[in-house]
Structure 1
Amino acid sequence: MSTSVGQATLTICPTRSDHSAPTPDTLAYSLTLPSALTTPAIARAATRTVLAAHGLAALAAPATQIVAELTATACQFSAAAEVYVSLRFREGSRAEGRGCGRRCCTAEARRTR
């Protein structure tokens, strides 16, 4: 449902019927952020919050470092006005081309067109 207020449009998102606590398996977030100096800090804060909510606080330090580097690089070298950040969790995902066999969080940052 959308409502127009002046020049702004407000959209009400549907509520979830499943109110269970977040788990590592449900970690799947995407953010579109401005290509600005503050974007890496926003991405780090969002990453820490998301990982803690999903019970993955132990991965926060390395994940936030990676997200900060990816977003800073995307903002610095992109002519685009926005960058896209995606956070996912994969049990036993591959790290550096090798199967790590551990719980891993993957992150991606890229410019939007």
Structure 2
Amino acid sequence: MLCGCVEPREPAAGSPADSVARSAADLRWHPLGTWAGSGDRQTESFDVRTGTLKLVWETSNERAPGPSTFRVELYSAISGRPLQTIVDTVGVGVDSAYVADEPRVSYLVIESGGVDWRVRLEEGVR
């Protein structure tokens, strides 16, 4: 598995995630789940009704030696296929990522090496 450092950045102009980020202030955010740990984890399934998601994440307590990794992917709970990589980074940090997808039952796969992590997933509703 190759992991690289991905600088936090705004979604590409015109992308579905860009549209979510621009309209985020107009939405109410309903919690879908909060998870924390170290190492890998698959969350329980959750029902995405609007397709508008925000993932708030934090990594801490980096262990030496070598770079730590943190990756979060959204999966379909029906087919089991990966839908989107939400976060793919190294080291410690904190950020938010917006996701635009179709309404469906989903789950997260969290892969972590060398850091503790905490994520909160919210769904935007009007």
Same fold (TM over 0.5): no
TM-score by length of 1: 0.29
- Greater strand proportion: 2
Give 1 or 2 for the bigger CA radius of gyration.
1
1 or 2 for the larger relative contact order (CA 8 Å, sep ≥6)?
2
TM-score by length of 2: 0.27
- Greater helix proportion: 1
